[in-house]
Structure formats: C-alpha cells, structure tokens
Amino acid sequence: MNLSEFLRLARDSILSNKLRTLLTMLGVIIGVASVIVMISISAGTEATIEDQITGLGSNLVYVNASFGRGGFGPGGGDSGGLVYDDAAAIAEQVANVAAVVVEQGSSETVKAANVALDGVTVQGSTAGFPSVRDITIAQGRFFTDKDVERKAKVAVLGATLATELFGEGDPIGEVVTVGTTKLTVIGTFEPRGTVSGVDFDAQLYTPVTVVFQKFIPNQFARIIGDRVRMLIVEVEDPSLMTHTIEQITLFLAKRHGVSLDSLDFSVTTQQDIIQTQESTTAAFRNLLAWVAGVSLIVGGIGIMNIMLVSVTERTREIGIRQSIGATPNDIRFQFLTEAILLSLFGGLIGVVAGIAAAWIFGTASGMRTVVVGSSIFFSFLSAAAVGIFFGYYPANKAAQLDPIEALRHE
C-alpha cells in the first residue's frame, strides 16, 4: 500500500464513524485548547504588568525602609530607618541626584458630604511625586514644595476615589475629612492602575508633612526625625546608575551609623522590580504550561483507550483485511495513520477552539489575553507526537492479531 491509499483508508474510516472519531479527538482538542488559553492568560498578565512598570522610567532609584540586622540606629525601630531629613541630605550631598521624593502613608477614614470610606490609604509625598510615579493630573493641580513646607491642608484624589466620594460632581475646592483633619481638594489624577500591588487610583495624596503632623505623630520626631517608608531618587545621568546607587548606600549607611552588612534600608531600581515581576510571571506561566501539558498527555491516553477499544471492535475487519492480503505492516500503518490524522485534526480544532476560548475569556473576565504564536505551534506539534506515541501500541496490537482468530471474532 502507498501513502495515498493509507490516507484514503483512514479518511473513510474516520468519516464512517463520526461519534468514535469525535470521542477519540476530544482529549486532544481539550489539551491543545487549554495549552493555548492558559499561555494566553499568563502572557496577557505579563504584558499588563510590563506596560505599567515601563511607564515609570529607567532613571529612578527606590530606597525602602527595612529592618536592619543591627536594628536600632538613629531612626531604627519597627518601620526601619529612613527619615524625612535623609531626602534633603541625599539631594544636597550625593552627586548625580536630580530630585528626591518621599512617600509615607497611613490608613484613614475619609468623609465627603454624604460618603464615608474606611481604610483609604493617605499617601504623604512631596512635589515631585506625579513625575516619578508617571501619573497625570486630570483637574486642578498637585501640591508644591511650598505647600509641603507650610504643611498646607490640601488633598489630591486618585481617579476612583474621586468618583466614589463625589460621583460625577466637581471635587475641586470641596473639603474632605480625613480622620479628624479637614483637607481641601486641589486636584484629581487620571487613572493609573495597579502597579506592584498598589492601586494608585484609590489613594488620597497630601503633603508628607501633613501626614507626619496629623496621622502618624512620632514623639521622637524632634530627636531623630520623621520616619518615611520610601525615598524615590531621580538620577540625572542614568549611565552612572550603578555608581550613584553605591554612593547613596554608603552615604545613608554612614548617616545612620550602620555597617554595610546590617543596613536598615534597601536600594532597588526599576530593572530590579521588572526582573522580580518577570521571574514571578515566568514561574506562573511555566506552572500553567505544565498543567496544560499534562492535559495533553491525558488526551493522548484518551486516544489510546479509544483506539484499543476500536481494535477489539474492529477485530473482524482486521481479519477480513488479512484474508484478502493485508500484511501486519499494512494493518499497523492503517491504524497508525488513523491515530495521527485524528490527533492532527484534533490539534487543529483545538487551536481554533483555544483561540476562540482565549478571546471569550478575555472579553468576559476583562483580563487581558495574548495568544502566543509559539504556543500554537508547540501544542499542535505535541498533539501529533501524542498521536504517534499513543497510537503505536493499539496499532501494533492490531497488526499482531491472528487472521483465523480475527475472522472467527463476533
């Protein structure tokens, strides 16, 4: 027999029993489709995260308060060792620094005319905040250095927070009560989304000095200064980034009186954050790919099951074919061709179903899904491999049947 005859035979057999055909292909269809859907979900998540992070620019250095092993230097304690004055000191004394922005937050109840919201993050910062966080003013203005200095009782609202408090109305000039302090709204932000778990749109922004004074008063502030959670340093020349990070680390260590191996702060860059995110999503993607891969193998076992049943069911056909001259190889290739064709068809249907399912899932859930070309290619390829691998055993079993026994089979 030649290839075209095998293909014709397989086609006739596949078309003559549609239910059996569908059952055989089902596992492969589901397997291939799930590989494509799962990878499209993780690729979509990855793309979303990357979009958010890359907007932040590559000239920023983040200095976070952390527990030092020494623990109790100046400003040491349970929230680490950064103080407000560090910002000014870095800006003045470390070379290649353009600006320093501080962040210190507190969770408060925020009230407007008719609405009260619990647990809103009140983010204290300085004038440079919108530019380093890549967030744009929608209405009004952000607070200035002067507002920070004067401890002006003003607030800028994140996009969703503004809507929650004031609906469609204009919040500029309105007064919100934060805890017991009344702040005047001077601006609102455009939506920015969630970056590294922080929802910028749900926060209220106020001068960091107001936060120190009203929300987290510190009895030691006069001695050691006001603690802050984070400093964001904008670097003038990004090519000197590594050197600048070293300088900041040495300067702060000296200023805090801690040794380099027991720092009470950590210094990271945009690249570090992206890398962390990438390794997390890569792990997530690998996990999904393995789960989907297992479902492909299960699909292959499905093919083998149905093929084995089908060999038994078709024993008489095999006997008839042997009696009219089919050799063991003819029978083997007949069944193997069927298995491979079924897997390829199943793979093809699975690809279409996977792309459709990814689109439907993305539309229905609002999550971003990106169908990855290589996932189509590899899942299709493994479907074919699964067909050959799991089709061989049943085909071989069919080939080894004894013609007399097979003809006698009812």
Partner 1 sequence: MIPVPIIETQDVSKIYGMGEIQVIALDRVSIRIQAGEFVAVMGPSGSGKSTLMNILGCLDRPSEGHYILDGVDVSEMDRVHLAGIRNTHIGFVFQSYNLLSRTSALKNVMAPLIYKRKNKLSHEQQSGLAEQALVKVGLADRLHHMPQELSGGQSQRVAIARALVNDPVLILADEPTGNLDSKSGEEIMELLHDLHQQGRTIVMVTHDPEIAAHTQRTIHLLDGHIDQVIENGFKQKAVAAEELGHEPV
Tell me the backbone φ, ψ of residue 114, rounded to 5 degrees: -115, -5
- Smallest CA-to-CA distance from 364 within 50, 37, 49, 51 is with 37
Sequence-distant (6+) residues with CB within 8 A of 27 are 298, 299, 300, 301, 302, 303, 346
Looking at the Cβ atoms of 5 and 237, the one nearer to partner 1 is 5
Q: How many CB atoms are located within 10 Å of the residue 97 CB?
A: 18
CA dist 191 and 63 (Å) reads 25
- 113 touching partner 1, by CB under 8 A: no
- 18 touching partner 1, by CB under 8 A: no
Looking at the Cβ atoms of 182 and 408, the one nearer to partner 1 is 408
Looking at the Cβ atoms of 167 and 328, the one nearer to partner 1 is 328
CA dist 335 and 312 (Å) reads 12
- 404 touching partner 1, by CB under 8 A: yes
For the CB of residue 407, give the shortest distance to partner 1 in the complex, in Å. 7
- 323 touching partner 1, by CB under 8 A: yes
**Site for partner 1, residues 182 to 211, rule: CB under 8 A:** none
Looking at the Cβ atoms of 254 and 316, the one nearer to partner 1 is 316
Query: Of 115, 301, 316, 356, which lies in the binding site for partner 1, with binding defined by CB under 8 A?
Result: 316
Output the DSSP codes for 331-366.
Answer: HHHHHHHHHHHHHHHHHHHHHHHHHHHHHHHHHHH-
For the CB of residue 25, give the shortest distance to partner 1 in the complex, in Å. 18
For the CB of residue 383, give the shortest distance to partner 1 in the complex, in Å. 26
Query: Of 309, 320, 370, 385, which lies in the binding site for partner 1, with binding defined by CB under 8 A?
Result: 320
CA dist 101 and 86 (Å) reads 11
Q: Which helix (H) or strand (E) holds 223?
A: helix 221-224
- 11 touching partner 1, by CB under 8 A: no
Looking at the Cβ atoms of 69 and 316, the one nearer to partner 1 is 316
Report CA torsion sign: 181, 213, 68, 237.
positive
- 403 touching partner 1, by CB under 8 A: yes
Pairing, β 97-111 against β 230-235: antiparallel
- 116 touching partner 1, by CB under 8 A: no
Task: Provide the binding-site residues for partner 1, judged by CB under 8 A.
Answer: 1-2, 4-5, 8-9, 12, 16-17, 316-317, 319-330, 403-404, 407
